[in-house]
Amino acid sequence: SAVISQKPSRDICQRGTSLTIQCQVDSQVTMMFWYRQQPGQSLTLIATANQGSEATYESGFVIDKFPISRPNLTFSTLTVSNMSPEDSSIYLCSVAGGGTDTQYFGPGTRLTVL
Partner 1 sequence: GQQVMQIPQYQHVQEGEDFTTYCNSSTTLSNIQWYKQRPGGHPVFLIQLVKSGEVKKQKRLTFQFGEAKKNSSLHITATQTTDVGTYFCAGLGSWGKLQFGAGTQVVVTP
Asked if 45 touches partner 1 (CB under 8 A), the answer is yes
Q: How far apart are CA 3 and CA 39, in angstroms?
A: 25
Asked if 1 touches partner 1 (CB under 8 A), the answer is yes
Query: How many residues line the site for partner 1 (CB under 8 A)?
Result: 19
Asked if 101 touches partner 1 (CB under 8 A), the answer is yes
Interacting span for partner 1 (CB under 8 A) from 11-19, 39-47, 64-72, 76-84: 39-47
Q: Which of 5, 28, 38, 41 binds partner 1 (CB under 8 A)?
A: 41
List residues binding partner 1 (CB under 8 A). 1, 40-45, 48, 58, 92, 100-108
